[in-house]
Structure 1
Amino acid sequence: MSKALSHAKIVPRRSSERGHSDHGWLNTYHTFSFANYYDPRFENFGSLRVLNEDRVAAGTGFPTHPHRDAEIFSYILSGELTHRDSMVKKGAEGSQGDDFYRMKRGDVQFTTGGRGIAHSEGNESNETVHFLQIWALPWARGLTPRYHTRTFDEAAKRTAFLPILSPLKAGPGASAAEEEAAEPTLKDTIPIHADFVMAAGIIGVDKRFKWTVGGDAVRKMTNRNVYVHLPMCKNGSAKIRIAGREDAVLAEGDGAFVSGVNAGDVLSIESIGEAEAEVVVLDSD
């Protein structure tokens, strides 16, 4: 264990202990209370509110549904997921854009629910789509609804943790013009209305990546909450170890609550399984 992280508390969240439902068309695991799964111990972690690991069968999906006052993002692991805004009819989409987006591996779509939006997500392909659906609590209610989509480089994720989301640079007091400009704190990331950074890395066998808490992007510098998740991508062959601790070894589907850490602390994550490990870091206030 690194001396610099002796103050950190690391508590694994085992995959088998997550909420789980298999609806046939949807096989879903819930890290936090969601829909019909409720556990008062797992409501949120900092501003992280939802982490669902979903598989949606071909030709099915989530029909048009509303969202309010949540920052919602999808991280595609495999397959294809099509987002449709309620205002865009099938067959009238035009080119890829913020309202319509056919997402594949490497793509992230982000929604500010704000004062209210409606959209759908469907699998219009012929294979199952596997993705993470993540929600964060925004720093203000009643924000203007907004979509963002970006593709993140696979090769870059294999060299180090690649930042994906960072706080809106203008902060909670952003003007309408600054909201429209949507400039993130970290270049080439998606802006989020929260003191929150998301990053992803694909760690080769026997390799180690390091995550600097706060990602040089946050306002709250002390007592941050970092959730580390290892998705179920390699048929059980991936495994990681956090901060060199034997009590913080994660198998696929597991996560870990890392609390009591400060911006600038360095969190090491090693790939110790038989396959490379795709790791998602969710660093919140």
Structure 2
Amino acid sequence: MSKTLSHAKITPHRSGTRGHSDHGWLNTYHSFSFADWYNPNFTHFGALRVLNEDRVKSNSGFPTHPHRDFEIFSYILSGELTHRDSMLQKGAEGGQSDKFYRMHRGDVQFTTGGTGIAHSEFNEHHKDTVHFLQIWAIPWKRGLTPRYHTRHFDEEAKRKQFVPILSPLKGGPDATAEQEKTAEPTIAETIPIHADFVMAAGIIAPKEKFEWIVGAKATESNKRKVYVHLPMTKGGKAKVRLDGRDDVLNEGDGAFIDDVRAGDKLSVESVGEVEAEVVLLDTA
């Protein structure tokens, strides 16, 4: 297969070079410096600041904690994760809402930390572990109004092509109060993010290949970076190859793709024995 991105620099970030911490209730891997783990080589990549692959055991989780000035999102791989706003008492939930949301596979919850927000994320299931990615991006400005968005993304759609999940808020850094309130994303059917940033996910069958158009025709900056992550979902049997190059990414691996421009085409080929769930983070 011809390399269409010969000008791009692709650097694998192997699973074993991630930070890792097992707290018993939480088994977590950090692709970027986080908590007690610091590596000067892995501090951020464009606006991408945190990518943690977390497994939280049943009846445990993150108690109420504050966030400020980050765009934070959870991508659920398996199990269930319950979000509770700090203002909501347990037992007073009612239906699914911004203050209470029980997430399952395919759900993405997004938080604008802005001027400050506090919530808890707990696995309230009686026996199953929840496996999810927690990802943080640096917003284009500080002091934003805090808010939540939750959305489900269809499994079968992800088996056909990369499905955009997040895209920049219409109006950009200079969005009006009305645009903030309307919260319309640049790409329809996605969650709006306060950053020049697109997230997408795909589930690629063995020997199949998906193509990603860098920037997704939705971003401001022409100069881009793409981070690819292959979550640990298939017991090590999923593998992918980027741009037809020799390096193969195994589960838990990521890759930094530098020196790409909006409109470039990135091919992702599934070369393992089972389908590969791939997450793309496209940033300025």
Q: TM-score range by the shorter chain?
A: over 0.9
> Runs ≥4 in structure 1, deviation > 4 angstroms?
none
Q: Which amino acid aligns with 1:65?
A: H
Aligned to 2:275: 276
* Match status 1:266 vs 2:231: no
Structure 2: unaligned runs, 5 residues or longer:
none
Aligned to 2:146: 145
Superposition pairs of residues 104-123 of structure 1, within 5 angstroms:
104-123=104-123
**Residue 140 of structure 2: SS of its match in structure 1?**
coil
Aligned to 2:196: 195
Q: Which amino acid aligns with 1:210?
A: E
**Residue 172 of structure 1: SS of its match in structure 2?**
helix
Q: Give 1:234 deviation, angstroms.
A: 0.2
Aligned to 1:156: 157
Superposition pairs of residues 1-285 of structure 1, within 5 angstroms:
2-125=2-125, 126-222=127-223, 224-247=224-247, 249-285=248-284
- The number of residues matched between the two structures is 283
Matches of 2:10 and 2:162, distance apart in 1: 20
Q: Give 1:168 deviation, angstroms.
A: 0.1
Task: Tell me if the contact between 2:3 and 2:245 (Cα under 8 Å) persists in the aligned partners.
Answer: no
**Residue 110 of structure 1: SS of its match in structure 2?**
strand
Matches of 1:121 and 1:225, distance apart in 2: 30
Task: Tell me if the contact between 2:76 and 2:107 (Cα under 8 Å) persists in the aligned partners.
Answer: yes
Q: Which amino acid aligns with 2:160?
A: T
Q: Give 1:97 deviation, angstroms.
A: 1.3
Task: Tell me if the contact between 2:225 and 2:283 (Cα under 8 Å) persists in the aligned partners.
Answer: yes
Q: Give 1:98 deviation, angstroms.
A: 1.6
Q: Which amino acid aligns with 1:215?
A: A
Q: Which moved more, 1:86-95 or 1:186-195?
A: 86-95
Matches of 2:140 and 2:58, distance apart in 1: 36
Q: Which moved more, 1:186-195 or 1:4-13?
A: 4-13
Q: Percent identity?
A: 72
**Residue 10 of structure 1: SS of its match in structure 2?**
strand
Structure 1: unaligned runs, 5 residues or longer:
none
The TM-score, its normalising length taken from structure 2, stands at 0.99
Matches of 1:137 and 1:177, distance apart in 2: 22
Q: Which amino acid aligns with 2:274?
A: A
Matches of 1:76 and 1:133, distance apart in 2: 9
Post-superposition Cα deviations, 1:130-169, rounded to whole Å, max 9, x if no partner, equal 0000000000000000000000000000000000000001
Q: Give 1:2 deviation, angstroms.
A: 3.7
Q: Which amino acid aligns with 2:194?
A: H
**Residue 246 of structure 1: SS of its match in structure 2?**
coil
**Residue 177 of structure 1: SS of its match in structure 2?**
helix
